[in-house]
Amino acid sequence: MLIEPGKLLKNINCPEDLKKLNTKELHQLRDELRQFIIDNVSVYGGHFGASLGTVELTTALHYVFDTPKDQLVWDVGHQAYGHKILTGRRDQFHTNRVYGGISGFPKRKESEFDTFGVGHSSTSISAALGMAVANNEFKDDRHHIAVIGDGAMTGGMAFEAMNHAGDLQDTNLLIILNDNNMSIDPNVGALKDYLTDITTSKTYNKIKDEVWDLLGKVSKFGPNAQEIASKIENSTKAFFMQHSNLFESFNLRYFGPVDGHDLDHLVSVMRDLKSIKGPKLLHVLTTKGKGYAPAEKDQTKWHAPGTFDKVTGEIQKKPILSPQPPKYQEVFGHTIVELAKQNDKIMGVTPAMPSGCSLNIMMKAMPERAFDVGIAEQHAVTFSAGLATQGAVPFCNIYSTFMQRAYDQVIHDVCIQDLHVIFCLDRAGFAGADGPTHHGAYDLAYMRCIPNLVVMAPMNEQELRNMMFTAQLEKNARPFSIRYPRGKGVMPEWKTPLEEIQIGQGRKVKEGEDIAILTIGTVGNYALTAAEAVAKDANVAVYDMRFVKPLDEAMLHEVFRKFDKVITVEDGCLMGGFGSAVLEFMVDHQYTSKLKRLGIPDAIVEHGTQLELHQECGFDPEGIKNTIIEMLAPSNKTVNVQA
């Protein structure tokens, strides 16, 4: 079902069409754009609240600035649905986040209006500043706008960029702080309190409005008017606000706060700011989920709700006819609380993802022992290291793709010092519709090369619980990495007794004689399915290795002495990953078996469901089955597949 756009929106194919509208029509278009997002996401799913909150801001930006000549960087990317719709992708918007369709985030290869790929957060100011400096060098008179919001300003990289921007006063950079007091969960930390202080200062805001009136009349007062208005504004901020100079301390001109849902005022302010040179920051207040009451009321729930009934607000879920396995994140969330009740040294840490990783369960049960540190992965890791130096046992839960940002801290602050920090890497492997910026493709490779670190992955929920239990034991006080995928597990009855696992010990899950499959993580379940599919004519052994580091060398010796054909399967990159570790072992010990590695190739894999992406890469059950057939074919062994 294709969603029919409104009367004005259906004729907007680029921002130039937008500029032809008068004020009344612009308001109507704004309403049609918001409704189009609601209609589409209710049917097809996707991120929701963030883009509803930026409808007016998006409309004003493309109305005032000359995009794509003026370069617009969105941060974080899931607030840019309106931007995509207004820049030529309206008729493709129903394919958003669908296999083969458009990306859920701005993407350079997709449109010239997407000036920078932004799946992660806190990068926009750095990117836009780089663009501005380059264009200064090329004498190219264009504007560079970084829209940073949905919690992204809490990332340290944003502050590094502001520090640099303030030192480059000839750059034409506009930073728009989209302040909705949210990321996925409510924002935390001193910055949130500071911004709240600004927005609630009634005296300052009253005088600020008068300053804006003066700035709006700048052309009538001659060349010194901007300097005079700036001095008035700065003095009012310094007088009425105790902490007024956070942004000015970076040598950025601060303007605001302004109502991010007052379209006329946004247009007026942005027109004024176009004439003010140098790096500057506009503080815009918005409401996440604006214009859809349920999303405004419960902003975390409506960050990415899936499909829903837009009239009733009921989020649609498939009827549950039998007991279902939990999501792996829920297993983590409940198990860490269970362990923390037994071990009072356990603490939980996450960078702005308490509901996404289910640490919110511990935060509710034991608020003094669980910490959301904001979008600050590097800090999360070193903070955990600091906890560990004092005898705490921190479980630091970070999505696999976001852990890449804290790699230096993992090495220097945790592993070199051999500290007892347990990294739980959620969303490992293919993340699904979020696409390549969110795929956890590399952690097996980048973790296994670090000394002192144990690297493991569970095949099911029971194994995840046992790995968490094993990692927190005092006798195992060293760094650990436990990775698990997004989505549901395989065990409806998952709450099994906690048992210690011998570190570096795999397990044989199926006997066989003809060929061996070595797996790491949940793809072991695919291997079992594939083995059953060829069971009539091929006796396939399946080994759940559990550990990439240390490898179970005794088990590998057993495998390579017995089998001349071996398959490795992993939901991770082939270059340097689990299969590479097995291949290294094979070469080091001079085994000559034929080895086939299945996993994520050396390529950027786009978005789709997890199964679609597994199929594309050939390590779904069908792909594994076909590999078994292919490897056994040279021995003239006929393999029939069960219907």
Residues known to be catalytic: 288, 377, 405
From residue 107, give the alpha-carbon distance in Å to each of 114, 118, 217, 398.
6, 7, 38, 24
Q: Which residue has the tokens 């956070």?
A: 246
Phi-psi region of 46 (alpha: psi -120 to 50; beta: other; left: phi over 0): left
From residue 506, give the alpha-carbon distance in Å to each of 271, 348, 476, 548, 590.
64, 28, 17, 10, 22
Which residues, 6+ apart, have CB-to-CB distance to 374 below 8 Å?
Answer: 151, 154, 155, 183, 187, 188, 189, 191, 351, 352
Are the CB atoms for 385 and 340 separated by under 8 Å? Answer: no
Q: What is the largest CA-CA distance in the chain?
A: 91
Which residues, 6+ apart, have CB-to-CB distance to 19 below 8 Å?
Answer: 63
Are the CB atoms for 305 and 37 separated by under 8 Å? Answer: no
Between CA 430 and CA 522 the distance in angstroms is: 12
233-269 burial code (b ≥16 CB/10 A, e <16): bbebbeebbeebebbeebebbbbbbbebbebebbbbb
Which DSSP state fits 187? Answer: P
152: buried, middle or exposed (CB in 10 Å: 19+, 13-18, 0-12)? buried
Between CA 295 and CA 326 the distance in angstroms is: 25
User: What does the H/E/C string look like for 281-323?
Assistant: EEEEECCCCCCCHHHHHCCCCCCCCCCECCCCCCECCCCCCCC
Between CA 173 and CA 70 the distance in angstroms is: 10
Beta-ladder partners of 71 = 144
Which residues, 6+ apart, have CB-to-CB distance to 620 below 8 Å?
Answer: 526, 611, 614
Q: What is the CA radius of gyration of the chain?
A: 27
Q: Which stretches does DSSP call E strand in 367-488?
A: 370-372, 393-399, 422-426, 454-456, 480-483
360-395 burial code (b ≥16 CB/10 A, e <16): bbbbeebeebbbbbbbbbbbbbbbbbebbeeebbbb
Phi-psi region of 326 (alpha: psi -120 to 50; beta: other; left: phi over 0): beta
**Which of 331, 328, 322, 319 lies closest to 525, judged by CA?**
328
How many C-beta atoms lie closer than 10 Å to residue 602's C-beta?
A: 7
